[in-house]
Structure 1
Amino acid sequence: MSTKHDDQAIRAHLAQCDPVLAQLLEAHDVLLVEENDREQEHYAALVRTIVGQQLSNHVVAILWGRLLERFGGRPPTPAEILADDPEELRAAVGLSGSKVSYLRSLAEQVESGAVDLEHVSELSDEEIVAELTTIRGIGEWSAHMFLMFQLGRPDVLPWGDLAICKGVEKAYGLKETPKRAALEELAERWRPHRSAACRVIWWTIDRPEG
């Protein structure tokens, strides 16, 4: 489990390597290291990621609650998703047809063993992204979220996250929203704590300084 010492060490590193982050950290009390026992199963985490794609946190919480209710108050297993009627699942939870299709694709690949979630944590970040993006409906953004919030990987840069791109544009006074190459170049200084740096950007983008 992460400690207060971890947070302080990462904070010191980011403040030293990047004056913009130093100012943001000075102005905002941002939690850089999340204490998470990560008891949620990897499959359930991916199901929730699919459910929550392109939706606000408030809406995601509602839909996730409906999904849990449909399966007895717990996340469904792959077999249960495949056994459920797709149209009934869509209507009961309030999902789009495409998301139901993505959930079934995930369930099929996990059930068949094509995607091995039991040992996924043994892979490198790059290998995990390559593995997960073979699943229909799981793109690089979803894979990056899985790395950061489910596996707690410390050096992830979700370059496809619009809030990160807009936040960097605002914080660094850029003339335009950075594309992938520009964002990766700027974030190189944050290594090996790019995940924590992104937390700073996320936390501060909609908050006034001071």
Structure 2
Amino acid sequence: MPDKFTKENYQSICDGLAAADPDLAAIIRAHSYPPFWWRPNTFETLVHIILEQQVSLASALSALKKLKERLQELTPARLLLLTGEEMRACYVSRQKSGYIKYLAEALLSGQLRLAEMEELPDEQVRAKLVALKGIGNWTADVYLMFVLQHPDIFPIGDLAAVNALKKIKNLPATVTREQIMAITMQWQPYRTIAAMLLWHYYLSAPKNKIQ
């Protein structure tokens, strides 16, 4: 089974990162520890992550709530009964409706088995997810971090995490993806928790200081 971080060791890992990196230590001093962000390993969670792609967290949550109100229980079989018009009434775009229905079909057919994902290493989980239409590396990263609690993931495609890193490290606008990934290597084997500290900073600090 892959290594995982837990609610019990989360703050001690934060402390270890802070001891090695003054910029992460400054986040904890200013804003305390980040919440222990966690989501269950369910179809609903993956739908939620897909809805979060390239929109605000509030917008995604609103769409998820609408789907749950309409279906009572958000399951693959029930979701597939919705028409495109009904999905749009739940604030789900035509493109994301297609992604979510493809996911539902993959789960019902056995192409994807969520329980099995808990026993697989990072790259096998990623490969199974990105094989599905509408799921890319960002969605896979969030699933690995929030659902499976894999400890060493840095979501390079997440603008909030990257912008927070640029801010705390005073990086120039010209910094490359490769340079950013090189910086994150110092946080191994706990890049997930470092990213959560960055998200915590992004959500806690005034927005005009992070752009």
TM-score normalised per structure 1 = 0.87
2:3 aligns with none
Whether the 8 Å CA contact 2:37–2:146 is kept in 1: the answer is: no
Q: Give runs of aligned pairs for residues 1-210 of structure 1, distance below 5 A.
A: 2-3=7-8, 6-31=9-34, 34=36, 36=38, 38=39, 40-72=40-72, 74-75=73-74, 77-90=75-88, 92-176=89-173, 178-205=175-202, 207=205
- Over aligned residue pairs, what C-alpha RMSD do you find? 2.0
Gap runs ≥5 in structure 1? none
Aligned residues: 201
What is the alpha-carbon distance in structure 1 between the residues aligned to residue 57 and residue 174 of structure 2? 24
Gap runs ≥5 in structure 2? 1-5
Question: How has the CA–CA distance of structure 1 residues 177 and 203 changed in structure 2, closer, same or farther, with 3 Å as cutoff?
Answer: farther
What is the alpha-carbon distance in structure 1 between the residues aligned to residue 174 and residue 10 of structure 2? 29
Select between 17-26 and 161-170 the one with higher mean Cα deviation.
17-26
Aligned-residue offset at 1:163? 0.9
Deviations 1:100-155 (A, max 9, x none): 11111111211222222221111111111111001111110011111111112222
Aligned-residue offset at 1:20? 1.7
What is the alpha-carbon distance in structure 2 between the residues aligned to residue 52 and residue 170 of structure 1? 23
Whether the 8 Å CA contact 2:41–2:114 is kept in 1: the answer is: no
- AA matched with 1:58: A
Whether the 8 Å CA contact 1:121–1:151 is kept in 2: the answer is: yes
What is the alpha-carbon distance in structure 2 between the residues aligned to residue 69 and residue 171 of structure 1? 41
For CA contacts below 8 A with separation 6 or more, give which structure has more relative contact order: 2
Identity, in percent, stands at 34
Query: Equivalent residue of 1:94, what SS?
Result: coil
Runs (4+) of structure 1 exceeding 6 A deviation are: none
Whether the 8 Å CA contact 2:41–2:148 is kept in 1: the answer is: no
Whether the 8 Å CA contact 1:169–1:177 is kept in 2: the answer is: no
